[in-house]
């Protein structure tokens, strides 16, 4: 399948969180799409973190766009020149205070939403984590840390008894598959 042709591209918003681009495109049949909006975001990393006691480390935080508090796995953006492995170890330590003696295990890399977003997410599994430090949160972060039995967490996801997002559910089931 051939790609669309970009006829014109302009930024309508730029910020530290990401950019919004407006493109005019031509499809293969000659149809012109005006004002196709593309969200440019940096790549993300996230991790299913499991303690020595087989508990999953979950962060709770308010999400403005969702207008509610959600339970999620630790995640974040990469810093400049940072590897994905280093980025997720840093994010987990900053958000939760947990560290592991083992290297993160890559479970997969996926486009977040290729219809409108440019970024990818790499999902890792971190095993035998222990709380070693205090949280080191960014100025806009307010995060509570919770532990759940790893197996019970899957039942919670299926029963919709907790508020979460797709990345957490997807990562959990990838980790579950890896571990069985």
Looking at the fold, whether 66 and 112 belong to one and the same domain comes out as yes
Condensed to tens digits (0 to 9), the pLDDT of residues 45-78 reads 999 999 999 999 999 999 999 999 999 999 999 9
Residues 128 and 110 in one domain: yes
Tokens of 77: 């953006």
CATH number at residue 81: 3.90.79.10
- 43: nearest Cα among 11, 79, 10, 12: 79
In this structure, the answer to whether residues 152 and 95 fall within a common structural domain is yes
| Domain match, 137 and 108 both | yes
**Model confidence, pTM:** 0.92
For residue 160, is pLDDT > 80? no
Conformation bin of residue 131: beta by default, left when phi > 0, alpha when psi is -120 to 50: beta
Q: Of the candidates 107, 80, 95, which has an alpha carbon nearest to the alpha carbon of residue 173?
A: 107
pLDDT digits (tens, 9 = 90+) for 118-137: 999 999 999 999 999 999 99
Are 48 and 30 contained in the same domain?
A: no
Q: Are residues 157 and 126 in the same domain?
A: yes
pLDDT of residue 138: 87
Q: Domain span at residue 34? A: 5-40
Same domain, 34 and 104: no
Report the pLDDT value the prediction gives residue 128, as an integer from 0 to 100. Answer: 98
Percent of the chain residues topping a pLDDT of 70? 100
92 and 161 fall within a common domain: yes
* Cα–Cα distance measured from residue 14 to residue 177, given in angstroms and rounded to the nearest whole number: 39
pLDDT of residue 161: 75
Please tell me whether residues 12 and 79 are part of one structural domain: no
Residues in the chain: 180
Task: Let me know whether 65 and 11 are in one domain.
Answer: no
Task: Domain count for the chain, please give it.
Answer: 2
Question: Is 55 within 8 Å of 150 (Cβ atoms)?
Answer: yes
Q: Are residues 90 and 136 in the same domain?
A: yes
Same domain, residue pair 35 and 53: no
- Asked if the model's pLDDT at residue 159 lies above 90, the reply is no
């Amino acid at each position: 399948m051939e790609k669309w042709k970009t006829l014109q591209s302009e930024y309508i918003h730029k910020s530290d969180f990401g950019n919004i681009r407006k493109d005019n495109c031509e499809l293969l049949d000659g149809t012109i799409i005006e004002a196709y909006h593309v969200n440019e975001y940096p790549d993300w990393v996230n991790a299913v973190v499991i303690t020595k006691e087989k508990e999953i480390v979950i962060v709770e935080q308010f999400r403005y766009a969702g207008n509610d508090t959600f339970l999620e796995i630790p995640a974040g953006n990469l810093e400049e020149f940072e590897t994905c492995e280093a980025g997720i170890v840093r994010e987990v330590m900053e958000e939760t205070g947990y560290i592991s003696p083992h290297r993160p295990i890559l479970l997969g890399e996926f486009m977040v939403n290729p219809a409108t977003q440019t970024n990818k997410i790499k999902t890792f599994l971190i095993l035998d984590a222990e709380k070693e430090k205090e949280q080191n949160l960014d100025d806009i972060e307010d995060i509570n840390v919770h532990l759940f039995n790893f197996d019970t967490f899957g039942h919670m996801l299926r029963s919709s008894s907790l508020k979460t997002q797709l990345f957490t559910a997807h990562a959990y089931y990838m980790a579950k598959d890896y571990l069985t």
